Amino acid sequence: MDLGFSAEEIAFRAQVRDFVANNLPPAIREKLVGGHHPSKDDIVTWTRILANKGWGAPHWPVEWGGTGWDAIKLSIFTDEIQRGHAPESLAFGTSMVGPVIATFGTQAQKERFLPRILDLRDWWCQGFSEPGAGSDLAGLRTKAERDGDSWVINGQKTWTTLAQYADWIFVLARTDGNVKKQEGISFFLCDMKTPGVTVRPIQTIDGGHEVNEVFFDNVRIPAENLVGEVNKGWDYAKFLLSNERNGIARVGVSKARLAKVRRLASLAVYGDKPKMDDPVFRMKLAAAEVDLKALEMTQMRVIAASRTAPKGKPNPMSSVLKIKGSELQQTTTELLMDVVGPYALPYQPEQGDRWNEPSVGPDWASTIAPTYFNTRKVSIYGGSNEIQRNIIAKAILGL
């Protein structure tokens, strides 16, 4: 047993850290440190910097632009990106539809789509959830019908993250209504400019616009935009979701936020001493750090075991990572609420380039309550924490 990283891994971490420090545009970094959302341009800019370095999608097959790094290096890479306050790559492309196309797509689909995902020429969004199909995703009702050389899609998706920027959407739709619900679903790629696609914004409780409803009204797409086999979409979706859940612990995000908590807790002076001198607060902060240290180790154990595990089999330990990882993301936002205290109250919406205007109260205060509210989502999406507990009970405990 050796709990340390190898010399090579340590050197690799330093290399990534230096790269982020030297290449992330300071304005983007400053914005993300402040808890603001990166703009579309920020994400595109940073993705292209990474793509130029050959790091646009490190986990992809080498022939499509991946790096060939092992699971440990991949996780070090993600950790450093998150800790360095860099925008994360757009998961819908690099972690979701990209691997699906690379694994199940035709040669033509790979050549057409993968390079454009790598440098974010195509912005993808995920059309899975529907008003009636959330946790019960297989209950989806959006329909696709074959008509000559086309598929015609009708229905509605919802919670579609950043669809307002999207060039393409990948869609699960029902292609056979007469079989078991998982067996009649297919996986389609749809250009957002196709006539009949309508995007309606949903405002979230923090005042932001990150999710949308997407309506399909007789949307006709070419037959070649089906991925893999008809009625096999559920298998591809499961493959995709198991990839989605790999990075779900988001250890680096919580590390970055805890560092911010420490920094602000020394700055925030109410009365005669900084928040950092409050013993109750310090114990809470320490407890969060203990949890995060344990989670980081758990994640490393899962990754280490994955090197010898049979490929393509979902690992129920990822549910442990999802539950604890999402709880920690939420705990760290609560610690920031503890730090800001009464000045959580003013609502100062971000409006495009106005994110840097003088704030009411301390200049770091304005994003804290919105981040706390917004982060409630992380225990709801990506398979809710209740669904993850069901998985643990069944798949780990056999209950």
Ligand X SMILES: Cc1cc2nc3c(=O)[nH]c(=O)nc-3n(C[C@H](O)[C@H](O)[C@H](O)COP(=O)(O)OP(=O)(O)OC[C@H]3O[C@@H](n4cnc5c(N)ncnc54)[C@H](O)[C@@H]3O)c2cc1C
Contacted by 161, from another protein, ligand X, none: CB < 5 to 8 Å by type = ligand X
Q: Name which position in 134, 196, 208, 316 contacts ligand X (CB under 6 A).
A: 134
337 is an interface residue for another protein by CB under 8 A: yes
Cα 271–chain centre separation:
39
Angle of helix 317-340 relative to helix 279-306, nearest 10 degrees, comes to 160
Q: Name which position in 49, 211, 258, 323 contacts ligand X (CB under 6 A).
A: 211
**Cβ(371)–Cβ(333) below 8 Å:** yes
Which of 67, 54, 76, 65 lies closest to 6 in space, CA to CA?
76
**Cβ(268)–Cβ(336) below 8 Å:** no
126 is an interface residue for ligand X by CB under 6 A: yes
**Cβ(65)–Cβ(56) below 8 Å:** yes
**Cβ(304)–Cβ(72) below 8 Å:** yes
Q: How many residues does the chain have?
A: 399
281 is an interface residue for ligand X by CB under 6 A: no
Q: Among the candidate windows 148-156, 328-336, 364-372, 386-394, which touches ligand X by CB under 6 A?
A: 386-394
Q: Footprint of ligand X on residues 149-208 (CB under 6 A)?
A: 159-161
Residue entry with tokens 């330093």: 14
Which of 294, 291, 290, 171 lies closest to 237 in space, CA to CA?
171
CB of 162 to another protein, least distance (A): 15
Please work out the total of residues on this chain that contact ligand X, with binding judged by CB under 6 A.
Answer: 16
- The two tokens of residue 362 are 């301390």
Residue whose CB is less far from another protein, 80 or 130: 130
Contacted by 9, from ligand X, another protein, none: CB < 5 to 8 Å by type = none
Which of 247, 245, 195 lies closest to 385 in space, CA to CA?
245
As a whole number of angstroms, the distance between CA 211 and CA 208 comes to 9
Q: Name which position in 15, 52, 135, 356 contacts ligand X (CB under 6 A).
A: 135
Residue 227 CA neighbour count, 13 Å, CB half? 30
* Through-space distance between the first and last CA atoms of the chain, rounded to whole angstroms: 32
Residue whose CB is less far from ligand X, 303 or 387: 387
34 is an interface residue for another protein by CB under 8 A: no
129 is an interface residue for ligand X by CB under 6 A: yes
Q: Among the candidate windows 31-39, 213-221, 278-286, 377-385, which touches ligand X by CB under 6 A?
A: 377-385
Contacted by 337, from another protein, ligand X, none: CB < 5 to 8 Å by type = another protein
Angle of helix 71-83 relative to helix 279-306, nearest 10 degrees, comes to 150
Contacted by 300, from ligand X, another protein, none: CB < 5 to 8 Å by type = none
Distances in whole angstroms, Cα of residue 325 to Cα of each of 89, 328, 373 = 19, 5, 17
Partner residues linked to 185 by β-bridges: 174
Angle of helix 7-23 relative to helix 71-83, nearest 10 degrees, comes to 30
330 is an interface residue for ligand X by CB under 6 A: no
Residue whose CB is less far from ligand X, 164 or 306: 164
- The two tokens of residue 98 are 């990209």
Q: Name which position in 34, 61, 207, 274 contacts another protein (CB under 8 A).
A: 207
5 is an interface residue for another protein by CB under 8 A: no
Residue entry with tokens 């030297």: 22
244 catalytic residue (yes or no): yes
Which of 124, 31, 165, 40 lies closest to 86 in space, CA to CA?
31
CB of 205 to another protein, least distance (A): 4
CB of 187 to another protein, least distance (A): 22
Please work out the total of residues on this chain that contact another protein, with binding judged by CB under 8 A.
Answer: 50
Q: Footprint of another protein on residues 119-148 (CB under 8 A)?
A: 129, 132-136, 139
**Cβ(150)–Cβ(222) below 8 Å:** yes
Contacted by 128, from ligand X, another protein, none: CB < 5 to 8 Å by type = ligand X
The active-site residue, picked from 88, 130, 244, 350, is 244
Task: List residues binding another protein (CB under 8 A).
Answer: 129, 132-136, 139, 158-159, 202-205, 207, 211, 269-272, 278, 280-281, 284, 337-338, 341-348, 360-361, 369-370, 372-374, 376-377, 379-381, 384-386, 389-390
Task: List residues binding ligand X (CB under 6 A).
Answer: 126, 128-129, 134-135, 159-161, 211, 377, 380-381, 384, 386-387, 390
